[in-house]
């Protein structure tokens, strides 16, 4: 068993480059937005969103370091589940920060706080400029890299069935939406609508929280050996369902189970032997996702998946 199939090595390397670029670009966005933040709640929410964007990239790179290793005596099943753990960490961070930002923006609205947007004097410029312009400029800059990175990551994530990379692509989408929503909040604040800033932050936090909860459900299902799920949702993987269907036809008296380990699918046939097949099975030699098909002797009661 290879640690990383040849069929996905090129895309895997591309994903690695994209995550390194993400750290560089998002790092620059955080630095610029921190300088322009002031007391804006929407800007604070946007900065938290951008900081959160670093988590999937970091855990992907850490998991990738282990995933490419071959099995050894201490880890005879390899390190494919490193990606599953990375997915759980990314989803947990997303949900936690989303909940925190929702609380912060709700408290701001309940207390009717009016964040001031005064003049700033960059490089000693007099008489100064409205700080809102700096915030809008920083938010506008924060939109561009996520749009590009997100669009580049999605097709790669689909090809290599990478839930962490897919979550990261969705995070990039949330980032540019955060920037656009933040600009609307700053403009509303400048027009005298004190609640616009906090309302924009609340909208941002709802999106983050919803994505985090969805990711947590999928990550938890994977780690407790649930049936393989589709990218970006909790629905059962069509690929895995079709594979299990073929084996149910070939072994009608056996229990068929599928589970996911990182980007790979494992299938178990309980209560049958390979030579007991009553129907032809598909050729899976070119299907890199099928990591292991095991025949377990004896009768194994329970639901098939």
Residues 160, 243: one domain? no
Q: Going edge to edge, which strands form the sheet with 264-270?
A: 255-261, 264-270, 290-296
Same domain? For 260 and 175 the reply is: no
Q: Within a domain: residue 158? A: yes
Q: What distance in Å separates the CA atoms of residue 254 and residue 266, rounded to the nearest whole number?
A: 16
Please tell me whether residues 208 and 101 are part of one structural domain: yes
Nearest to residue 108, comparing CAs of 45, 26, 180?
Answer: 45
Domain check: are 219 and 252 in the same one? no
Looking at residues 117-133, what average pLDDT do you find?
64
Boundary-marking domain end, from 223, 250, 277 = 223
pLDDT digit string (tens) for 158-209?
A: 999 999 999 888 888 878 877 887 787 778 777 777 777 677 778 778 877 8
Residues 144 and 44 in one domain: yes
**Predicted local distance difference test score (pLDDT) of residue 1:** 44
| Cα–chain center distance at 26 | 15
Residue 57 lies in a domain: yes
| Chain mean pLDDT for the chain | 83
User: Is residue 228 domain-resident?
Assistant: no
CATH no. for residue 72? 1.20.1510.10
- Tell me the residue range of the domain where 271 lies: 238-296
- Based on the domain organization, do 57 and 166 belong to the same domain? yes
* Domain presence at residue 272: yes
Last residue of a domain, one of 178, 200, 223: 223
Cα separation, 205 vs 100, in Å, equals 8
Give the chain's domain count.
2
What is the reported pTM?
A: 0.82
On whether residue 233 sits in a domain, the answer given is no
Last residue of a domain, one of 190, 223, 256: 223
Kindly state the average pLDDT of the residues 127-137.
Answer: 75
Domain assignment present for 64? yes
**Distance between CA atoms of residues 111 and 22, nearest Å:** 37
**Residue 186 and residue 60 in one domain:** yes
Q: Please report, rounded to a whole number, the percentage of residues in the chain having pLDDT higher than 90.
A: 34
Q: Are residues 67 and 42 in the same domain?
A: yes
Decide if 291 is inside a domain. yes
Handedness of CA 264, 270, 276, 278 (dihedral sign): negative
Same domain as 255, residue 218: no
């Amino acid at each position: 068993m290879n640690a990383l199939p040849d069929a996905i090595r090129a895309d895997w390397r591309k994903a690695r480059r994209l995550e390194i670029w993400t750290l560089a670009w998002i790092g620059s966005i955080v630095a610029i937005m921190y300088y322009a933040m002031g007391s804006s709640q929407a800007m604070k929410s946007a900065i938290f969103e951008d900081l959160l964007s670093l988590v999937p990239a970091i855990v992907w790179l850490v998991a990738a370091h282990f995933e490419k290793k071959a099995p050894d005596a201490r880890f005879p099943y390899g390190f494919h589940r490193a990606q599953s753990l990375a997915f759980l960490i990314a989803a947990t961070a997303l949900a936690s920060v989303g909940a925190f930002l929702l609380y912060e923006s709700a408290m701001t609205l309940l207390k009717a706080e009016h964040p001031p947007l005064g003049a700033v004097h960059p490089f000693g410029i007099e008489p100064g400029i409205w700080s809102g312009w700096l915030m809008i400029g920083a938010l506008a800059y924060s939109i561009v890299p996520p749009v590009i990175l997100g669009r580049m990551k999605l097709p790669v994530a689909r090809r290599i069935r990478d839930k962490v990379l897919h979550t990261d692509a969705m995070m990039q989408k949330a980032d540019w939406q955060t920037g656009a929503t933040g600009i609307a909040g700053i403009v509303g604040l400048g027009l005298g609508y004190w609640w616009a800033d906090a309302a924009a932050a609340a909208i941002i936090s709802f999106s983050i929280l919803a994505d985090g909860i969805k990711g947590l459900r999928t990550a938890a299902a994977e780690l407790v050996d649930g049936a393989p799920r589709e990218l970006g949702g909790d629905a059962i993987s069509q690929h895995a369902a079709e594979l299990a269907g073929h084996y149910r036809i070939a072994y009608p008296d056996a229990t068929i189970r599928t589970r996911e380990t990182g980007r790979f699918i494992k299938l178990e046939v309980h209560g049958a032997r390979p030579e007991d097949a009553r129907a032809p099975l598909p050729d899976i030699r070119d299907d890199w996702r099928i990591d292991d098909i095991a025949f377990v002797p004896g009768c194994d009661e329970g639901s098939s998946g």
